Amino acid sequence: MTNLPGGPAPDVPVFVISVAAELTGLHPQTLRTYDRLGLVTPGRTGGGGRRYSLRDLDALRVVAHLTAEGLGLEGVRRVLALEQQVLALREQVALLESELVAAHQALSGTANLPVPMPAQTSQIVLWRRG
């Protein structure tokens, strides 16, 4: 994420659409389209004007990169949704692992013993038709 020293926090919506367009190299109408499709949702002022945060600018760059790679906007929407789902699942796994450690420690009565965790392996199964 782009973070300017002494600049705004990553989630603070401060950039108007013209500045966001210039910083990302995208046309303002492209930013409006991405907003309308829900790909990047900037903050709003009281009058309804768009305000983009540093995190929004990074998201715009990701969308621009994916479309430049040939992915359509519906494909981009799906990729972004899947990335969010993966992040949520990783958080859930981390929470469950910490609960497992706590439960193991509670059952064993010794908080300093290492907890055996299942090895994470990837297996590829080759299937060939008879």
| Res. 18: pLDDT tops 70 | yes
Q: What's the rounded Cα separation, in Å, for the pair 63 and 73?
A: 8
Name the CATH architecture for the domain at 17-108.
Answer: Orthogonal Bundle (1.10)
| 48-106 pLDDT per residue, tens | 999 999 999 999 999 999 999 999 999 999 999 999 999 999 999 999 999 999 998 88
1: Cβ–Cβ under 8 A, 6 or more apart, which residues? 10, 54, 55, 58
Residue 7: pLDDT band with limits 50, 70, 90: confident
pLDDT of residue 21: 96
Mean pLDDT in the chain?
Answer: 87
Share of the chain above pLDDT 90, in %: 67
Q: What's the rounded Cα separation, in Å, for the pair 76 and 20?
A: 20
| Res. 17: pLDDT tops 80 | yes
- The amino acid sitting at 112 is N
Residue 25: pLDDT band with limits 50, 70, 90: very high
pLDDT of residue 36: 94
